[in-house]
Amino acid sequence: MNPSSIFLFALALAGLTQAQNAPVANVESARKMVEGPCTECHGQVVKGDATAIFTRADRRARDHESLVKQVHACGTQLKTPLFPEEEEHLATYLNQRFYQFKQ
C-alpha cells in the first residue's frame, strides 16, 4: 500500500467508527459538558443532584424539538455560546440518557 492509500484507508475507518456511534458522536464530551458548566447553574435550580432537572416530574421538555430549544436557551447563558451542532449533540445525549423521546 502506498502512503496515500493508507491515509484513505484510515479515513474510511474513522468514518465507520463514527457511524457506529451515531447519533451521539461523542458521549464523553457531552457528559462532561452536562455535568460541568450546565450543572453549575442547574444545581441552583433543583436542590441536590443537578441532573434531576431532566427527570423532575414537571420537567418542561416535551419532545426532541422543545429539548433542542431549551438547550439553545440555556446555551446562550454560557460564557461561550454553543454552536447549533453542539446544541443538537447535547440534546441527543440528554434524550438518550434521560428523556427517551422518539425522534
Applying CB under 6 A, which residues contact ligand HEC?
33-34, 37-38, 41-42, 45, 53-54, 59-61, 67, 70-71, 74-75, 77-78, 90, 94
Compute the least distance from the CB of residue 87 to ligand HEC, in Å: 8
Q: Which is nearer to ligand HEC, 10 or 88 (CB)?
A: 88
Compute the least distance from the CB of residue 4 to ligand HEC, in Å: 40
Q: Which is nearer to ligand HEC, 24 or 42 (CB)?
A: 42
| Residue recorded with cell 423532575 | 56
Q: Which is nearer to ligand HEC, 24 or 38 (CB)?
A: 38
Q: What whole-number distance in Å separates Cα of residue 88 and Cα of residue 23?
A: 10
From its phi and psi, is residue 94 left (phi > 0), alpha (psi between -120 and 50) or beta?
alpha
Return the closest-CA partner of residue 63 out of 100, 16, 18: 100
The single-letter code of the amino acid at 60 is R
Compute the least distance from the CB of residue 58 to ligand HEC, in Å: 7
Q: What whole-number distance in Å separates Cα of residue 82 and Cα of residue 21?
A: 22
Phi, psi of 40 (to 5 degrees): -50, -40
Q: Which is nearer to ligand HEC, 24 or 71 (CB)?
A: 71
